[in-house]
Structure 1
Amino acid sequence: MNTITPWVALSFALLGTASVQAADTSGSTIVRDYTDVVAPADQQAYETGVKNFNQCLHQHGFKYTWKAWIHETGNTYSYSYVTDPLSWEAFDAMSAAGKACDEALRTAVNPHLKSETSAFFEIMPSLSHMPKGTPPTSSFIEVRYFKLKPGHEAFETFMAAAKKIAAAAEKSNWAVHYMMGAVREGADDAPDFILVIPANSWAEVGKEPDPDVWKMVENVYGKESGQAIRKSVNDVIQNESEHVDSYSAELTYMAAGH
């Protein structure tokens, strides 16, 4: 999907939970992410520790799912864990319910960490293009981060352009589905937006979309307007990066009933 760049390269709701549309109307649009980095020598012990931690959660009837993703490109000794979309209030209940296994986390997992980062992502249905109904499952996700230039104007410009692109994808029934989220409560160097594209194989990850994103936009709005949208995006992006993750059923904590 390289030709989707520069703006397209939330694993989130599109991977086995309620649809984006449903999440938007229910208020459950917030996803939490933890990304762990481990040393190669600690990888096996770390994964065993995660499984032990998940077992503790099961024993205590923990009702919140954490999906696990192993980074296949970029830092390949990284693991990301993301919740289903929830309300802000649900994270208070999640924190209280997880305290029973804090000791298991500290003793079985934390000793094998080189570092860990965490942030919240707000799913943005108006910036996303997802199939109607139940979202597809996925073996891989292509994740792209966008760090914008400082200032409110850059944020609003990016939002406006992303909405137009999503509207064009919807109108043209574009074959590429994706979800975009805004980063909340991240560190100073955290990206401003995250975009996730599902795939079921490496062949699908590398497949060139036809038309590509900008041709699709031009087909809907006309060449002049399409180029103006593209320029507005390019002008506000400070930097971007991407990586591909694979889903790990072994490290996922699946709450009962899911």
Structure 2
Amino acid sequence: MNTITPWVALSFALSCAAGAQAADKSGSTIVRDYTDIVVPADQQAYETGVKNFNQCLHQHGFKYTWKAWIHETGNTYAYSYVTDPLSWEAFDAMSAAGKACDQALRAAVNPHLKSETSAFFEMMPALSHMPKGKPPTSAYIEVTYFKLKPGHEATEAFTAAAKKIAAAAEKSNWAVNYMIGAVREGAGDAPDFILVIPAKSWAEIGKEPDPSVWKMVENVYGKDSGQAIRKSVNDAVQNESEHVDSYSAELTYMASGQ
């Protein structure tokens, strides 16, 4: 695994990261995520139901893309669907446009679910390190959820440290690319931040970064400052969880013209 211990072992989709540079200027920084937990015996029926639902969306000219990611580690009966970056206002239009297929979703997909969760992610380009222009195609993403300790102090410490790390990665032209998002409107047990790193293959996932994140930070800021940044992250994080997802073209709804 591309271990960036202890604060990341790097689901946004890579498409979200692709919009990171433009998002700052356009205001389209919000991504919605639905994660489905499927009854194991109903997995095939569930996937068929998603395809039927997508067909309904196409028939009604639905213009918003939902990219599908299958969880390869952790709960392997989990599927995540994420939008491209949008403005908050766009989700009102999306909701209205999708009503035509609500019944298809309830009839073809919902019966095969154990549970479903949803949240919004606000992309944070200042805390991230992504290539300029269009990023490379990603078959996998490594995802880390961060739950911070209670209080605004932990949030401020985490974001300040993440901003310094991203600046160091930019200055040193660090080879590892990643995107950080802040979780919005999640439940009480939802993480506070999500961190995603794209990968082309399992071989790339298993390759250790050289230099490591903390070595890279020390190279830029010096050993004492690097250790202080590391400690501030450790002190802010309450717990974290990780998983790897693979992109599913079959379950993705791609709006016409994209």
TM (normalized to structure 2)? 0.98
- Corresponding position of 1:139: 139
Q: Deviations over 1:207-239 (max 9, x none)?
A: 100000000000000000000000000001000
The one-letter amino acid paired with 1:248 is: S
Following TM superposition, the consecutive aligned residue runs of length 4 or more in structure 1 with deviations greater than 2 angstroms are 14-19
SS of the residue corresponding to residue 3 of structure 2 reads helix
Q: Percent identity?
A: 87
Shift of 1:2: 4.5
- Corresponding position of 2:199: 199
Query: Could you tell me how far apart the structure 1 residues matched to 2:16 and 2:83 are?
Result: 11
Query: Could you tell me how far apart the structure 1 residues matched to 2:17 and 2:108 are?
Result: 29
- Corresponding position of 1:66: 66
Aligned length: 257
- Corresponding position of 2:224: 224
- Corresponding position of 1:88: 88
Matches for 1:11-90 after TM superposition, within 5 Å: 11-12=12-13, 14-15=14-15, 18-90=18-90
Shift of 1:11: 3.4
Shift of 1:23: 1.1
Shift of 1:134: 1.1
Q: Deviations over 1:3-60 (max 9, x none)?
A: 3121221533x33774311011100000000000011100000000000000000000
Q: Deviations over 1:179-198 (max 9, x none)?
A: 00000000000000000000
Query: Could you tell me how far apart the structure 1 residues matched to 2:17 and 2:257 are?
Result: 12
The one-letter amino acid paired with 1:72 is: E
- Corresponding position of 2:187: 187
- Corresponding position of 1:237: 237
Query: Could you tell me how far apart the structure 1 residues matched to 2:34 and 2:18 are?
Result: 21
Matches for 1:110-189 after TM superposition, within 5 Å: 110-189=110-189
Stretches of structure 1 that go unaligned for 5 or more consecutive residues are none
TM (normalized to structure 1)? 0.98
- Does the CA contact (< 8 Å) of 1:19 and 1:132 recur in 2? no
The one-letter amino acid paired with 2:12 is: S
- Corresponding position of 2:209: 209
State the superposition RMSD in angstroms: 1.1
- Does the CA contact (< 8 Å) of 2:19 and 2:85 recur in 1? no
Query: Could you tell me how far apart the structure 1 residues matched to 2:229 and 2:18 are?
Result: 31
